[in-house]
Amino acid sequence: MIGAVAAAGALIAPAIVWYFFSPEFTDVGYQPKQPVAYSHALHAGEMNLDCRYCHANVERSSVASVPPTQTCMNCHQLVGQDRPTLEPVRASAASGEPIRWVRVHEVPDYAFFPHDAHLAAGVGCSSCHGDVASMEVVRLEETLSMGWCLDCHRDPAPHLRPFDELTNTRWQPGEDQAEIGAALLAERGLAPPEECGACHR
């Protein structure tokens, strides 16, 4: 009898650890409440704004940056002045006090992630952030764990796309992605690093 329980335990304990201790469980799906009811589905999806209109640094810097209030005011000095949902944005523009957006994607401080290098290589936003243009509120779609980084670094071909599709979050690899990806990999001369110092520095 004790044997049966121990056997069951031995089977279940790893299953519990596998299921619940993995970043697939602890991290993925994180969707904090934001201080403004800003929707990517409306701005980037329905209105088709390009990601780089707001995340303007993403191709030039390691950080993508959440846009300053001024970027919202480019349009919202013209539209929606009377909307209560935009009150915090107006207050921030008037006082100069930044809006305190809650950070969703974050690697630990001992790891370094450069956006510019990945975009220059032709890896699009949705390979790492999912279909943001369909999200009302941004949600963490990938684990951002070291294993996840390395899975792609060891075989990036399936994730490479044409440069004019970088910010199209509905982009899907076609059936011939294997050949296209291999060709792009060679053409762009990419060599994603696997040595520790590239990311831990």
Closer residue to ligand HEC, CB minimum distance, 1 or 196: 196
Which one of the spans 21-29, 85-93, 173-181, 190-198 is the region binding other proteins (CB under 8 A)? 21-29
Q: At a CB cut-off of 8 Å and minimum separation 6, what does 195 contact?
A: none
Cα–Cα distance measured from residue 155 to residue 134, given in angstroms and rounded to the nearest whole number: 27
Binding map of ligand HEC across residues 167-186, x = CB under 6 A, - = no contact: x-x-----------------
Cα–Cα distance measured from residue 146 to residue 107, given in angstroms and rounded to the nearest whole number: 9
Q: Name which of residues 47 to 86 contact other proteins (CB under 8 A).
A: 47-50, 52-53, 56, 60, 63, 65-66, 70-71, 73-75, 77-80
Q: Is 65 left (phi over 0), alpha (psi -120 to 50) or beta?
A: left
Q: Name which of residues 102 to 141 contact other proteins (CB under 8 A).
A: 103, 108-110, 139-140
Closer residue to other proteins, CB minimum distance, 47 or 186: 47
Binding map of other proteins across residues 166-195, x = CB under 8 A, - = no contact: ------------------------------
Q: Name which of residues 125 to 144 contact ligand HEC (CB under 6 A).
A: 125, 127-129, 132-133, 138, 144
The answer to whether 70 and 124 have CB atoms below 8 angstroms apart is: no
Q: At what angle do helices 87-95 and 69-76 cross, to 10 degrees?
A: 120
Cα–Cα distance measured from residue 64 to residue 132, given in angstroms and rounded to the nearest whole number: 14
C-alpha dist (Å) from residue 21 to 16, 18, 27, 87, 99: 8, 6, 10, 40, 33
Closest distance of CB 126 from other proteins, Å: 16
Interface contacts to other proteins, rule CB under 8 A: 1, 4-5, 8, 12, 16, 19-33, 47-50, 52-53, 56, 60, 63, 65-66, 70-71, 73-75, 77-80, 97-98, 100, 103, 108-110, 139-140, 164
